[in-house]
Structure 1
Amino acid sequence: MRADQVIIEPIVSEKSTIARENECKKYTFRVDPQANKFEIMAAVKEIFKVEVLSCNVMNMKGKPKYSRGKGGYIKGTTASWKKAVVTLAKGQSISAIEGV
């Protein structure tokens, strides 16, 4: 799997911004569901040219969703997805995400 197929998008939320601003520099990404830790670490290293110390991977379960349709309420769920939290070495940062 190519590096640009592994990393889908960075996650920018309040919690991920706080983790990114600490001295440990943790970045959160939405990744391909078939990717493993080693593929994710290699993809981040190749795309952003940084040194990666560790990677934590979580499978996020879809949330229940209710919407109103013609025949009443429709029950369903959002799609499940995979999240990776990547820790960089001291002094390293990803400038493309820092400005967001």
Structure 2
Amino acid sequence: MKDPQTIIQTIRLTEKATMLGETNNEYVFVVHPKANKLEIKQAVEKHFGKKVESVRTANYAGKARRERRADYGRTNHWKKAVVRLKEGERLDLV
């Protein structure tokens, strides 16, 4: 699981993530659930060419969903990574 495209799945562009990017130079990514902080750091540095200061992660359980039947399905479990870049580094996302 060393390929950056498999580790970093997508970027989260929410209001909170935008505020983190503007104030703290932090960016929020959806990453592979089995990726650790070191792999996430290396993937961001290789994919974007920026230096990473720190990485925070959080695991989220999938929610139970029901659609017109009695049995329940479930959305996928996912992992979020908040990556802080070093001073002077920026990501142009939009």
TM-score (norm 2): 0.91
Q: What is the root-mean-square deviation of aligned Cα atoms in Å?
A: 1.1
Unaligned runs of 5+ in 2: none
SS of residue in 1 equivalent to 2:13: coil
SS of residue in 2 equivalent to 1:67: coil
1:93 aligned partner: 90
- Which 4+ residue blocks in structure 1 deviate beyond 4 angstroms? none
**2:15 alignment partner AA:** E
Alignment of 1:12-51 (within 5 A): 12-22=13-23, 24-51=24-51
Aligned residue pair count = 93
TM-score (norm 1): 0.86
Q: Please state how far the C-alpha of 1:64 moved relative to its aligned partner.
A: 2.0
Unaligned runs of 5+ in 1: none
In the alignment, which of 58, 75, 78 is matched to residue 75 of structure 2?
78
Q: Please state how far the C-alpha of 1:76 moved relative to its aligned partner.
A: 2.2
Q: Please state how far the C-alpha of 1:5 moved relative to its aligned partner.
A: 1.2
State the identity %: 35
1:3 aligned partner: 4
